[in-house]
Every structure is written in structure tokens, then in C-alpha cells.
Amino acid sequence: MGDAEKRKKYDELGNNWQQYEQAGFRGYSRQQGVNFDEVFGGNSGFSDFFETFFGAGFMNDSGRQQHSAARKGRDIEASARISLRDAFFGTEIMLKTNLSAIKVPLKPGLRNGQVLRLKGKGNPGRNGGNPGDLRIKISIENDPVFEREGDDLRTTASVDIYTAILGGKIMISTFEGDLMVPVNPGTQQGVLLRLRGKGMPVFGSNDRGNLLVKVNINLPESMNEREIEYIRKAREASK
């Protein structure tokens, strides 16, 4: 084969012209079609390539149109960043994809790094195939008051020395409002108060985690002489 003829093959078929010719391909037109998946194997990728440029249907050797199989569309990956409060109550977000804007409801109890899959919200399928899915990775911001541990929430509460010694009640803030919580007499620094069912909702169920409150005993910054005298008497009595 001369250089001119080789150059013509190259112009028609590119770098792989010899591979095409060895497989029995001698040129292409819309009137003379070739099933490239049969020539090069089902996973060759040549069928996808030529479908892109010449359309979804080819003509086989007998002149009948050869249609490609239906294929599912590609998935779309997205991310969403929400607050811990939104994860507690659930929320609704608006996502913009390369196709459109979509409103996505989020159930309570989502965890950091959790991936949600919305079926059929991805790229459209080919040749009648189903559309792909939309996969959303959730990122949850740190909260200034509560720390999450699984489905439990942790926080701290200040207790004055008199309540810690004598017992009483303190006010605890939660996402659902303030609660009055009893404190036992003789409560020590660092003790955990467990409020059952006041933690995070468990995703996909009606269960709830717990709220764990760490006691931080505050000593008074200044005391008058009368208070100091009472403490002296209390110390002597304890002996």
C-alpha cells in the first residue's frame, strides 16, 4: 500500500485504521453500516464513539438498522452542608445540578458523611434506558453548644457550689427548648446527667438518642465575711 493510500486511511479512521481494516472494515457510510460491538467486542467502546458522531443506529452488513441496547444514565454526585440543628429537625435544601435545580427534603437524624441516593434524578438514559441517580453526600457543621456522639448529644451546664452541695434544679438548653433538670445533693465536678430520649433522632425511625450533660461546678469569685464564716463552720462540723 502506497503512502497516499495509507494517508487516506488515516484521514478516514485515525490512528486505528489498521485495526479497523484487519477486522474487515473498509469504510463507513450511513447506507453501509457496521456493528462495531460485534467487530471489536462488546466492551470495545467503538460503538459509543461512532454513535456519538453518526447517531444511535448503524446499518449492519445486510442493510438492516442495528440499534444499541438501552443504557442507564450516569449518576450525578453532589454535596450539601447543613447545621446540626437542621440535622436534628430535618430540613429542605435546593441543589443545582447540570440538568436543573431540585428541591430535596432531608429527614431528621442525618449523620456527617451520610450519602443519600435519589433514584432517577441523574443524567438521562440512552436508547430508552432509565435515568441515573443523584447521590448527595451530607456534611454537618459543628455546633457551638452541642457535640454529637452517634445518636447522643453532649453539652455542659454550670452549677453553683450551693446547688451542687445541697441539690436543686438547673436549666438546660436543648434544640426543643429549655428544661429544668434536678441535681442531686453532693453532685461532683464532671458528673454526667443523662436525659433519656432528648438526643438526636435516629435516622429513619422514631427512636431518639440521649442528651448527656456534664456538670461544671462554679466557685464564687468573691464571698463576703458572712459567707466565709458559714463555710468555716461547715468545715468544722464535717470533722
The residue among 140, 166, 183 that closes a domain is: 140
Same domain, yes or no, for 170 and 216?
yes
What's the rounded Cα separation, in Å, for the pair 106 and 103? 10
pLDDT higher than 80, residue 81: yes
Grade residue 31 by pLDDT with cuts at 50, 70 and 90: very low
Cut 0.85: pTM above it: no
> What span, in angstroms and rounded, lies between the C-alpha atoms of 134 and 137?
10
In this predicted structure, the answer to whether residue 167 has a pLDDT above a threshold of 90 is yes
The count of domains in the chain is 3
The CA distance from 236 to 239, in Å, is: 5
Question: What cell does 74 get?
Answer: 450516569
3-state class of 68 per DSSP?
Answer: coil
For the ranges 16-30, 138-152, 209-223, which has the lowest average pLDDT? 16-30
Out of 41, 67, 93, a domain closes at: 67
- pLDDT band (50, 70, 90) for residue 42: very low
**What average pLDDT does range 138-142 have in this prediction?**
97
Q: Between the CA of residue 84 and those of 116, 138, 143, 153, 160, what are the distances in Å?
A: 17, 11, 6, 10, 29
**% of residues, the chain, pLDDT over 90:** 59
Q: Mean pLDDT throughout 180-184?
A: 95
Least confident of 10-24, 34-48, 126-140, 223-237: 34-48
- Whether residue 95 has pLDDT greater than 80: yes
Question: Residues 128, 84: one domain?
Answer: yes
Please tell me whether residues 231 and 164 are part of one structural domain.
yes
Give which of 172, 182, 164 is closest to 220, Cα–Cα.
164
pLDDT over 50 (residue 52): no
Are 93 and 123 part of one and the same domain?
yes
> What is the average pLDDT value for the chain, to the nearest integer?
82
Q: Cell triple for residue 172?
A: 438546660
Checking if the pLDDT of 227 tops 90, the result is: no
Q: What is the pLDDT of residues 103-130, one digit of tens each?
A: 999 999 999 999 999 999 999 999 999 9
Main-chain dihedrals φ then ψ at residue 67, nearest 5 degrees? -95, 140
Q: Which of 30, 50, 67 delimits the end of a domain?
A: 67
Residue 54 has pLDDT above 60, yes or no: no
* pLDDT above 70: residue 181: yes
**pLDDT confidence of 57, banded at 50, 70, 90?**
low
Q: 107 is in which domain, residue-wise? A: 76-140
Kindly report the CATH number assigned to the domain that includes residue 219: 2.60.260.20
User: Taking the CA atoms of the chain, what radius of gyration do you get in angstroms?
Assistant: 35
Q: Are residues 102 and 82 in the same domain?
A: yes
Instruction: State the amino acid at position 137 in one-letter form.
Output: K
Give the long-range contacts of residues 106-110, CB within 8 A, separation 24 or more. Answer: 106/80, 106/82, 106/138, 107/203, 107/204, 108/200, 108/201, 108/203, 109/151, 109/200, 109/201, 109/202, 109/203, 109/204, 109/205, 110/82, 110/138, 110/140, 110/203
Question: Per this entry, what is the length of the chain?
Answer: 239
Q: Looking at the structure, do residues 105 and 133 belong to the same domain, yes or no? A: yes
pLDDT confidence of residue 117: 96
